[in-house]
Amino acid sequence: MTTTNTTETPTRQGTLTVGDTFPDFKLKACVSIDKSYFDNFKDVALSDSKGKWRVVFFWPLDFTFVCPTEITDFNKHFGDFKDRGAVLLGASCDSEHVHLAWRKNHPDLKNLQFPMLADYKKELSTALGILHKQAGAPLRATFVIDPDNIIRYVDICDLSVGRNTKEILRVLDALQTGELCPSCWEKGKETVKVA
């Protein structure tokens, strides 16, 4: 069985950043673990969630140590992303088959509520410019993408440092206000009013 991967070529080299268009993609994903083998997979495209906010986060590799702590934390906050009208997608450069095996093997990953994208050919992570130069695996990168497919937030961590999901939610809240938000702003607090 072949994996379908398509991405647009970025208009410039280097890491895509705020203001850039997130590349279109169509990738195989592991979406469950309890169906017949191939029914646990489906194609997921950026266009599937057209008109919605998206949070796409990458981890380096399956069957590692820091990665499951992040994945389970994103899953713990899945409802918070959904409440904000945001679609959550996770990705690494492992195949959908490896994702399935890891989910079946790791007790904390059995009940994930979001797709695990298989960027097996590294086309999306290459287009985004997030491959670690020596390891060749994606860095711990997070992208918040607005309904027009524009990147509004990027966070990229070293391979050894896990992310803070609550901070990503805080930034999403701030972006969704469409207003000026001061340092350490949190949902419900006053935004900056310009006279």
pTM reported for the whole predicted model = 0.90
How confident is the model over 125-156, as pLDDT tens digits?
999 999 999 999 999 999 999 999 999 999 99
How much of the chain exceeds pLDDT 70, in percent? 93
Element (H, E) at 117: strand 116-118
Average pLDDT over residues 87-96: 98
- The pLDDT score that the predictor gives to residue 13 is 57
Catalytic, 184? Answer: no
Q: Cα torsion at 31, 109, 102, 65 (round to 10°)?
A: 140
Q: Which domains does the chain have, with CATH numbers?
A: 6-162 (3.40.30.10)
Q: Which of 67, 93, 157, 181 is flagged as catalytic?
A: 67
**Which DSSP letter does residue 72 get?**
H
User: In 3D, which of 116, 88, 87 has the Cα closest to residue 28?
Assistant: 116
**pLDDT one-digit tens code per residue, 104-114:** 999 999 999 99
| Residue environment code for 58-71, b if the CB has 16+ CB neighbours within 10 A, otherwise e | bbbebeeebbbebb
